[in-house]
Structures are given as structure tokens and as C-alpha cells.
Amino acid sequence: MNYELRNITKKYDKTVLDHISFRLAEGEVYGLLGRNGAGKTTLMKVISGMIPFDQGDILGNDKVDFFSLVYYVPETPVLLEYLSAFEMLNFVSRMHNKSWSKEQLYNFMDEQGITSYSNDLIINYSHGMKHQVSLAIAFLIKPKILLLDEPLVSLDPINIQHMRDQLINYARQGNVVVISTHMIPIAQRVSDEILILSNGKMTQVSNTFIDNELEKYVINNI
């Protein structure tokens, strides 16, 4: 299944998204790059249905509401901080009608690498730990289209590698993953295609870059 965004336009005091068009294919990871203030977060909120767009179309499966397929993880995690990670995941699983046992939840948390602090209150977590819990929630929900706003910025190198592998595996299961990031080397390592947002316009290219070619390409196109 492919999803196509055509001529998407969003204006505030100025035009942030100016008739941009691109496609998303199941099984692929997309790296979204651009300067600060380029509109990357606005685009993700438009795709997720959090804010309306002024013009354009989103095409996909006519039998399913597009926005019901999308889950957005913001740069700043939004969690119930006086719950533990275990309690948070248990709450979310019940909200999504998943009847997981305690053992199943702990096995899942092991896979996510968060078991060691899963019984501590979230309010005491570091920013990186909160990000890991947010990503665990996303994998628990299993959206068809997963949008991640700077998901790797606060993770250590080991967890970055673990998360990279998880995101690629998740996409290969027939899902779409879009990662907004300032970390060009990470985007090059994880992405099948690159989306560059600059001056309200979108460029979409296949990630066939080697060495530091992507960095040079991005610099020349933003």
C-alpha cells in the first residue's frame, strides 16, 4: 500500500508548507530533514491529523480513515509521570483492547530495553528514558504509519543502534516509519528514502548515498 500527499499547504503568518507532494510506501523508513523552523513538526502534525491543512489531498486506502492509521511521537514525551513504565504500558494496552498478562508485558519491556527502570515513577526518568518509553508505547500500539519527531537525540550510542534496528524491523513488517531528525548520519543509516523540507517545498530522494554524500546533498538543498 502506498500513501500519497498531494499539494499539501499550511499557512500561519507565512506559508510553512507550500503545495508539497510526496509518497509513503509500506515497508519503508523515511528520514525527514530540514533546518530549524523549516516546518518538519508542522508536517508531522498535519499527517497525524493533529492540525488541519489548508489545501491538498491525502490518498491511500479509501476504505480506512487515513488518520486512524497514524501515531505521532513528539520530541518532548507526553506521559503520565506519576505512573511507572509498567503501569503506563498496562494502561495503554487496556485502552487498545490488548489483554496482555503481566508476564507478556515484562517480556515486551525486555525487548524494548526498559525493564531495569520499569517499576520506577516516570517523573524520575531522564529525557532519554522517557523517549524509550514513548517509543515502547508506539510499538505496543502498532500503527500502520509511525511518525517520530527527533526520537534519537537523547539516546546513548548503544540505544541508538538498538532503536535503529527496531525501526527498520518495524517498517519491514509492512509499516511506514517517518523520522524527523537533525542527525544526518543517523538518517543515512536508517532511511530508505530522504525527505528534505526547505522554504516550504519538499524534495524526496532515494537513499543511495555513500560516505558523507548525503550531508553534502542536504547542505546544498536547504
Class of the CATH domain delimited by 2-76+143-221: alpha beta
Q: Looking at the whole model, is its pTM more than 0.85?
A: yes
How far is 93 from 89, CA to CA, in rounded Å? 6
The answer to whether the CB of 181 falls within 8 A of the CB of 150 is yes
In our burial notation (b when 16+ CB lie closer than 10 A, e otherwise), range 109-135 reads beebebbebbeeebeebeeebbbbbbb
Residue position matching grid coordinates 510499538: 139
| Per-residue pLDDT tens digits of the chain, which is 222 residues long | 889 999 999 999 899 999 999 999 999 999 999 988 889 999 999 999 999 999 999 988 776 788 999 999 998 888 999 999 999 999 999 998 887 889 999 999 999 999 999 999 999 999 889 989 999 999 999 999 999 998 877 777 777 888 888 999 999 999 999 999 888 888 888 999 999 999 999 999 999 888 788 888 888 777
List % helix, strand, coil for the chain (3-state, nearest 5).
40, 25, 35
